[in-house]
Each structure stands twice: as structure tokens, then as C-alpha cells.
Amino acid sequence: MHITRCYFCSGPCYPGHGTMFVRNDSKTFRFCRSKCHKNFKMKRNPRKVRWTKAFRKASGKEMVIDSTFEFEKRRNVPVRYDRNMMATTIKAMKRVQEIRSKRERAFYKNRMAGNKDKEKEDDIRVVNQNIELAPLESKKRVQAIKAEKAKAENMEMED
């Protein structure tokens, strides 16, 4: 069973599913669903459509460079069937998948590392900009904190 890639979103196209468009120069385009085919007909760029794998890779949200991708390449050399070789190949495929998933998790954690601090700063900025929407107690608390900071700055200036 040969699983191809969708031309637009790079998702898997299983046999008997999706559509194929053949251009006049006999170039074939496979699409996994009508959504991809319609976007292709509208001449949309997959790197600019946010839900495609091309966008995710171009914007740095998914791994692009990794040695585990080398194993997935298509090889056009026919190999004689050997039961032992098939068993070792399947074991290797499972091991490569484990390694890839571990690296993807590490990549995601590394990418999300600074987000909590950034979100906290953004939340503080929003609260400071829209302080009139906050409850009265929190307004008083914020004003008290500002007064303490101002006092501390005045003390430092005097020294």
C-alpha cells in the first residue's frame, strides 16, 4: 500500500481517498480532501495558509532539520524479500519513531520555554492599561504598590 502526500497540505493520501488533478503537461497533483483541492484552484500559497504543514515548517513551529527524516525518503531500488531483514526494518522503524517523537517533544518544550514569562508581562500590561475595569480592592492594591515603588525611588534619589 503506497501512501502519498497531499500536494497542498502535505497530509497523507491513502489509496482510494482524495482526488487527483492531472495538468496538461501530465504533472499530477494529489489532494487528501476537497478543502485542499479548492485552495489549490484558488491559487493559494500553502506556506501562507495557517493550517498546512508547509506553514508550520516555514514559521518554525515544526522541526525541519533532523536526521530521522532521512529514513522516510523514497528509495527506487527494488530489494528482494527477506524475512529477517523485514523484521529488523520494522524494529528500526519503531525505534526511529520513538526518537522522532522524543525530539519533537523537546523541540516544542524549547519553543514554549519563554512563553509563560511573556504571557505574564502581557497580562500585567493589559491590567495596567485597563485598571478602571478591575474591582475596587485590586485598584487600591495596585495604587499601594505604585506608591511604595515611588517612595523607594525617592529614597534612592536622596541617597
Topology, domain 1-62: Ribosomal Protein L24e; Chain: T; (2.30.170)
**Whether pTM exceeds 0.75:** no
Could you give the CA distance from residue 136 to residue 147 in angstroms, rounded to a whole number? 16
Question: Is pLDDT above 70 for 32?
Answer: yes
The yes-or-no verdict on residue 30 having pLDDT over 90 is yes
Q: Which residue has the higher pLDDT, 62 or 17?
A: 17
Q: What is the band of 28 on the pLDDT scale with cuts at 50, 70, 90?
A: very high
Place 74 in a pLDDT band, splitting at 50, 70 and 90. Answer: confident
pLDDT at 133: 74
pLDDT at 151 over 80: yes
CB atoms within 10 A of CB 2: 7
Query: CA-to-CA distance for 49 and 53, rounded, in angstroms?
Result: 9
pLDDT tens digit sequence for 115-144: 888 998 998 898 888 877 777 777 777 788
**Is residue 37's pLDDT more than 80?**
yes
Mean pLDDT of the chain: 90
pLDDT range class, residue 159, cuts 50, 70, 90: low
Domain ranges, ordered by start, for the chain:
1-62, 116-158
